[in-house]
Structure 1
């Protein structure tokens, strides 16, 4: 049996409470990723059959409250409405990482943050280089910056790798930081016709939300209507409404008070995570991933600068950015790689991060609304995600014997007390 890797090593043993939290999040994301994968397949099949006109009719059907500026299409409701729940959960995850997770101290946050930032900057640079070489629009520079953790975990479930928890946790942390970057980009670069009165109302609503949390006010009947009002005001304010979800997620209290079994963030995340992963994101995928896969359309993906830049950015850019960022950060911080793993494992994770499905599709819609280029960019996201998934599957399967051994060692519980023996050997079962 291999020696237990030190807990302070890079990709080493996670503290037991952190591992429990990560395991809960990953279970939901994996199931949600499989549903997301199924939704994407249904969308592609539906949009490329004689029933494609029905798909377009349903996606473009409008309903809402015109007097409140909320007369939106079904596709628009899924991207601006349902994805707000997704970003609310992302905000809660980010808050947890910042308060009690791997981002709570500069020493532990440095490596995943540097890796994630490089994993966003390099793909954008690759997109820009492709546009500079072939001409085209720079509007899609942010599309290849996103990583879809649910889709990535679905790929892991399909190929049946026994990836150790530390590797999955690192991928999850990368995705959390990636989501924050995506929200900042959406908030800053994809705004239009700002209505400062509506924005002021949204800020006031967030202030009330904060005060309710500070006063320890409980009850969904306070927060749900207030959240809807904040969302509607932000939407009418000209900022993408999903920003409201992240803002509220960051405000929710993460640390439990004395006598509480769960903090408000834990309770909310527990309730909304399955809804987000199992319904909201798949419905968005159903109405966003329905693109033509005809020979002519696929040809334009590889010959038009914008979609080609997305493919190069998501595949090559993500691999180079995350791997190089991780390697350099480890050297700079003198972090020691878990001796049971190799840099080839980090390369495989970097390849897996090239799956940019959900947020990449959203940014593609914002960058090229209602245009043929936008449809080609969507197709490029799907193709790049497929390429990244296949490459990652090859790299991960090559090392699966190692992963299986480590997985079995870190889950062995011979005394059946619910805590793996490796934590009792290291004295970390309750830390």
Structure 2
């Protein structure tokens, strides 16, 4: 039995395989074509939607990891698709390089992260897919194709966020920077202060995000900027905060909320009072990410960045009108506009709002109510997170939807890379 990270998806594939070379991937695709079998790839199973679910062939690229090449002068790195983000950061650091930006979870494979539009935060930066310079994939006819802005530009725009539906991505070339350090600051601030100073916080910091605790006026703000200061000496506080407070203590409080749901508001208030205020300096790949051991279900939507204050007001009204048993904070991040056809940030600077519910607690009613607010403000779902949209609604929200489907039909007319979930999304 295969499960995703949250346990919300469970399935048993007919066959599981781990190719060890690009040639193995070609052979696998050709064999599947002869058998009329579908194929899905599993990265780290960190999507909350059934993207990986299949009763046919499930492929893991755990044997296709590492750096294929690094050119520090051109600031380019070629990466094998199965490489986990944690390993990628460390491997690049050994070569004197770093990624432009990362999300706060580093357990995903790089191919899974870019294929779903995974992102970090910072108004100067797009999602991870926007850092790609070229992609190599094996298509349904068993051919190896490489696309970039200079070569097969339409395929490049479609493939960077493709949900694994255009072929099996084997390698990608990414932009990198010389290694750099970040100065990280965690601060507890009132929500109204954050909204009043939002443009300042967004524009004067390389990276800015905040967490708002439901049923409180409290946020945890995280600021990160480049620095030449030496790394912070290990005094134990950072590790204590990340592993004991943000994971161990929060897990205990979450269990209380799960067993006695009416205590959720109290748990949120306790968590808000415990927001740590500290500063730290470290290498970028280490500070971008935070360990997440407390499991949950998640929904995340992109909205136009300028709509964020109005959406926050709507959420406040919702909480007063319909109290929910929720204690996880609401996360807000910022992403620069891009030209990737299925990117939630396509042609607009975006604010991403993520909501969470502790594993084992009912989330459907809460997610549905919040989704209605996001949709009122032209929301687009994160592809790896829970949402309820299907083909006609998605077509209306993604201007290049039909162009993507045209490319997909050309590359995979028989639907080798689709599963039931994707067929429903694409109307097939």
Question: What is the TM-score normalised by the length of structure 1?
Answer: 0.26
Task: Name which structure has the greater RCO, CA cutoff 8 Å, separation 6+.
Answer: 1
Which structure carries more strand by proportion? 2
Which structure carries more helix by proportion? 1
